Structure 1
Amino acid sequence: ALATGAREALERIDLRLHHGIHPRVGVLDVAPIVYLRDRDRGAACAEALVLADLLGHEQGVPVFLYGELARGRTRQQVRRGGLHALATRMQAAETAPDFGPPELHPTGGAALVAARPPLIAFNVELAPPATRQDARRAAATIREGGPQGLRGVRAIGLWLERRGVAQVSTNVEDHHATTLADVVDAISLDATPAQAELVGLAPRAAFAGFPENLPLRNRRTIEQALAAAKQTST
């Protein structure tokens, strides 16, 4: 299914015409194989390598592994400086893909592949008159290594031009160590959250203690999606 979706994306999307504020280096950008149980880790790693080979050799997309498949290399390291900077590093032989051609796909860029537990994409919009600087300050405070130092949290501060609001955009990589409520609480020390947004799905446990008075768009769990898929198949 991932390979089919990748083929469709490459046929329909031209990265050269895309404009956005979130970091990315390709039409696919990140294509992880996610495992929910530790005992499935080995199978997920094997499937991720098969996917990387398919994307690289059948779709012509240079693939960079990250995480445990690449000795801990992070998405941020590959994305550093954006697509143009990655192309420059590839041309200078400073970095090379693990699968696929040595140059970027002309319209699709590159792809990042890993095997990992669930990662939660969680965004918090700040109440006016918060600015981009306020969002950046809050992000720097809560990300792992910052003053608040939430474990397994990556965060950036953005300004959403179309909506005229500041946003703290996060990836929560370990929801057992840091719940979404922990993220909201940490942001609240520097700014006032107005509403939140879940991008994709999250494990049910990640919502433990989530504040009932904070609106949350797209609240949907992995468990709900799996149950719905099981019902459809029976």
Structure 2
Amino acid sequence: MASPRLGFRLAVCLLNVSEARKQDVVETIAKAALCDKPGQKKTQTTVLNIFSDYDYNRSVLTLAGPIETLGHSVVAACTEAYNLIDMEQHDGIHPCLGSVDLVPIYPLSECVSLEECGKVAHDIAESLSHDVPDCSMFYFGYADQPHKRSLVQRRKELNWYKRSNLNVNDIKPDVGTTVSPRYGLTGIGASPYVMNCNVTVDTQDLNIGQLIASAVRGANPGGLRGIQAMAFPHEGTVEIACNVESFKDKPPMPMTEESTKYISYYIEGEEHFYFAPISIERQIKKLAASYGVKTVGTALVGFTPEHCKCLAEQAIREGYGAFWRKRKTITM
């Protein structure tokens, strides 16, 4: 539950923007979330981390703060991103539809509900439609009422995974009338925390990467539950990019060293489980070996939900809005 020293009810936004090659642009977006311009009041939001990938031309900014005020910071950051990123000029290997591609709101404190996060997502969309009239958005998760369609389902419906075959004129956004060529389409929603765990395989054969991604994907027989995976060519190798979703059903016990390892956390008193990054790495390593290749590294984009909550509490307690800068000088 929330730290009694702080009394904050914390949530987090893992803001995905379609820019990674101009770090000054990415950091300007991060600073906007802090509202630290002259004459503006600083918020209690902290930017815990900035993860940028040159080949993907995509950055993920971890914005955490009280659920009651986080939306204002997210709107400020998104508005800046819309101003600075032109989708007509974008080039990168990661699928995307918008200059602000994804705005997921996740609860961090146990007492913050998914319904509240969905309401914040709606408020963000309403504010952005007013501040940036030509932007357009689709809802997912607890912002997509009453259907609560998942992000994966919405992306499939929009052909997000095959952008080259997409005709934006065929898209009817949930917010906005048409899709602007400059801003593109933004996904806004709420769900239990989703981690991003990327495992690098030492091969240039994308077909091997795609076979591994398919085998680890939770929707396929033998896959890891809650895992969405794609394979991309990356810096002369292949990266298996995994979205790690949580689930409620308690995993079978006992579990041996060779079996999967789960970690749990709570939302409103309900226990949720997700695969530990080490289990994902172990499974991909085993699959890669079956094709005669090795894994050469694993990167967690951001944090586990527990680590994210602890860092957010520390950053707010110590008054570090630009916490990502502090993290460069210390070992976490």
TM-score range, shorter chain: 0.7 to 0.9
Q: CA deviation at 1:84?
A: 6.2
Deviation at 1:37, TM superposition (A): 4.1
Q: CA deviation at 1:66?
A: 0.8
Q: Quote the Cα distance in structure 2 between the aligned partners of 1:87 and 1:61.
A: 13
Gaps of 5+ in 2: 1-72, 247-262, 264-272, 289-293, 321-332
Q: CA deviation at 1:63?
A: 1.0
Name the residue aligned to 2:284: 187
Cα 1:226–1:19 shift into 2, 3 Å: farther
Match of 2:175 in 1: 99
Change (3 A) 1:155 1:29: same
Q: In structure 1, what is the Cα distance between the partners aligned to 2:299 and 2:285?
A: 16
Count of aligned pairs between the two proteins: 210
Equivalent residue number for residue 167 of structure 1: 239
How far apart are residue 44 of structure 1 and its match? 1.3
Q: Shift of the alpha carbon at 1:9? A: 0.7
Name the SS for the 1:24 alignment partner.
coil
Distance 1:39 1:226 in 2: 15
Percent identical pairs in the alignment equals 24
1:199 aligns with 2:301: yes
Aligned to 2:318: 231
Would you say the 8 A contact 1:138–1:190 is kept in 2? Answer: yes
- Give the conservation status (yes or no) of the 8 Å contact 2:169–2:178: no
Cα deviation for residue 55 of structure 1 reads 1.9
Map of 1:214 onto structure 2: none
CA contact (8 A) 2:173 2:179 kept: no
Aligned-pair Cα RMSD in Å: 2.2
> What is the deviation of 1:46?
1.2
The equivalent position to 2:163 in structure 1, one of 82, 88, 91, is 82
1:157 — aligned with what? 231
Residue 232 and residue 179 in structure 1: after superposition, are their counterparts in 2 closer, same or farther (change >3 A)?
A: same
1:58 lines up with 2:131 in the alignment: yes
* Alignment check: 8 A CA contact 1:24 1:83 kept: no
The aligned runs of 1:67-78 (5 Å cut-off) are 67-70=141-144, 71-75=147-151, 76-77=155-156, 78=158
Kindly indicate whether the alpha-carbon contact (under 8 Å) linking 1:148 and 1:186 is maintained by their aligned counterparts in 2.
Answer: no
Supply the AA of the counterpart residue of 2:194: L
Structure 1 counterpart SS, 2:231: strand
Match of 2:117 among 38, 44, 52: 44
What is the rounded CA distance, in whole Å, between the counterparts of 1:171 and 1:122 in structure 2? Answer: 6
User: Runs (4+) of structure 1 moved beyond 3 Å?
Assistant: none
**Deviations 1:147-204 (CA, angstroms, capped at 9, x unpaired):** 33211110001111xx201110111011623121221121122112210112223224
The DSSP-based 3-state class of the residue aligned with 1:63 is: strand
Q: Is the 8 A contact 1:29 1:112 kept in 2?
A: yes
Shift of 1:224: 2.0
Q: Residue 158 of structure 1: SS of its match in structure 2?
A: strand
Distance of aligned partners of 1:105 and 1:226 in 2 relative to their CA distance in 1, 3 Å threshold: farther
5+ long unaligned stretches in structure 1: 91-95, 205-219
Q: Work out whether residues 204 and 233 of structure 2, in 8 Å CA contact, stay in contact via their aligned partners in 1.
A: no
Q: More strand by proportion, 1 or 2?
A: 2
Counterpart-to-counterpart distance in 1, 2:175 and 2:213: 33
Q: Distance in 2 between matches of 1:159 and 1:38?
A: 38
Pair 1:36–1:83, CA change in 2 (3 A):
farther
* 1:123-144 superposed Cα distances (whole Å, 9 cap, x missing partner): 11112x4521111111000011
SS of aligned partner of 1:69: coil
Once the two structures are TM-superposed, the CA of residue 88 in structure 1 deviates from its matched residue by 3.6
Q: TM-score, normalised by structure 2?
A: 0.59
